[in-house]
Amino acid sequence: MTSSLTHGWRLLRWGRTLGRHGALRGIEADGNAPAIVRRMARLARFGTATPAVPDYARAFEAIGPAAIKLGQALATRPDLIGEAAAQDLTRLQDALPPLPFAVIEAALVEAYAGPWQQHFISIDPVPVGAASIAQVHRGVTTDGRTVAIKVLRPGIEAAFAEAIETYEWAAAKVEAQGGEALRLRPRAVIASFKAWTLAELDLRREAASASELAEAMQGEPGFLVPEVDWARTTRRVLAIDWIDGVKMSDRAAVAALGLDGRVLAATLVRSFLRQAIAQGFFHADMHQGNLFVLRDGRVGVVDFGIMGRLDRRARVYLAQIIHGLLTGDYIRVAEIHFEAGYVPAHHNVGEFATALRAVGEPIRGLDARDISISNLLDGLFGITRSFDMAVQPHLLLLQKTMVMVEGVALTLDPKVNMWQVAEPFVRDWMREELGPEARLADSLVANFRSLRQLPRVFRQLIAKVPVEGAAPPMAPEPEPVPEVHVRARVVLHWWVALATAVAGIALGAALVAH
CA-derived radius of gyration, the chain: 33
Q: What are phi and psi of 300, to 5 degrees?
A: -110, 155
Residues 297 and 408: their CA atoms lie apart, in Å, by: 16
Structure letter (DSSP) for residue 48: -
SS3 199: helix
Whole-model pTM?
0.71
8 A C-beta contact, residue 87 and residue 78: yes
The residues assigned a catalytic role are 285
Residue 1 is predicted with a pLDDT of 67
Sign of dihedral through CA atoms 215, 218, 224, 230?
Answer: positive
Element (H, E) at 147: strand 146-152
CA dihedral angle for residue 187, residue 193, residue 198, residue 202, rounded to 10 degrees: 170
In the prediction, which pLDDT does 202 show? 92
| List of E strands, 284-429 | 291-293, 299-301, 307-309
Using CA atoms, how far residue 408 sits from 21, 55, 170, 214, 411, in Å, is 29, 23, 35, 21, 5
- What per-residue confidence (pLDDT) applies to 467? 59
What digits encode the pLDDT tens for the residues 10-68? 888 888 888 888 877 777 666 666 677 777 777 777 667 777 788 888 888 888 888 88
Of the candidates 296, 288, 303, the one whose C-alpha atom is nearest the C-alpha of residue 250 is 288
- Show the low-confidence residues of the chain (pLDDT under 50): 374, 512
* Helices and strands in the chain: count of H runs, count of E runs: 23, 11
Rounding to the nearest 10 degrees, give the CA dihedral for residues 174, 178, 184, 185.
60
Counting every residue written for the chain, the total comes to 514
Within 8 A by CB and 6+ apart from 305, the residues are: 133, 196, 199, 200, 206, 209, 285
What sign for the dihedral angle of Cα 10, 13, 19, 20?
negative
Give the pairing type, strands 237-241 and 307-309: unpaired
Phi, psi angles (nearest 5°) of residue 33: -70, 140
What is the pLDDT, as a whole number, of residue 140?
A: 97
Q: At 458, which amino acid appears?
A: F
Question: Looking at 305-407, which runs of residues are DSSP E strands?
Answer: 307-309
* 151 DSSP β-pair partners: 135, 237
- Residue by residue, DSSP assigns 229-252 as -GGG--SSEEEEE---SEETT-HH
pLDDT of residue 416: 78
